[in-house]
Amino acid sequence: MIHLVEDTVVSESYQNQAINVIKFHFEKVVGGERNFYNIDRPFKPKKIPIVLSEEGVKRIIHSIDNIKHRCIVLLIYSGGLRISELINLKIADIDSKRMMIHIKGAKG
């Protein structure tokens, strides 16, 4: 495990997989007892999302000349939609009187 961590460049999930292989070998193949192995498992680093500035979003929207494409980008951005949610959107799902969009099958 030290060789994997220090000498080679492997991901955290690959290191966890190697630990599980070692455990499986000693417990199932060799037939040993189930033991506690004092091996520190690596954690995946938390990634900070890339967020555009308000000015950057305005530049993107104003650079689009096609009105249909601009409408698509504005719907995605203002509604926080995924591409699949936009594709499944029907005209009946838009309530212009209440200024609401009904999104079916959304994750939240």
Contact 80, 51 (CB under 8 A): no
pTM given for the model: 0.53
Whole-number percent of the chain with pLDDT over 90 = 27
- Whether the CB-CB separation of 16 and 10 falls below 8 Å is answered with no
| CA 88/CA 64 separation, integer angstroms | 23
The answer to whether 57 and 71 are in contact (CB under 8 A) is no
Which amino acid makes up residue 72?
A: I
Residues 6+ positions from 81 with CB-CB distance below 8 Å: 75, 89, 103
**108 falls in which pLDDT band (50, 70, 90)?**
low
For the ranges 14-23, 38-47, 52-61, 63-72, the lowest mean pLDDT is seen at 38-47
CB 87 within 8 A of CB 105: no
Q: Which tokens hold the place of 44? A: 């995946």
| Mean pLDDT over the full length of the chain | 86
**69, pLDDT greater than 80:** yes
Task: Report the interhelical angle of 67-79 vs 54-62 (nearest 10°).
Answer: 160
Instruction: Measure the CA–CA gap between 101 and 90, rounded to whole angstroms.
Output: 10
Segment 25-40 mean pLDDT: 79
41 or 21, greater pLDDT: 21
pLDDT at 70: 95
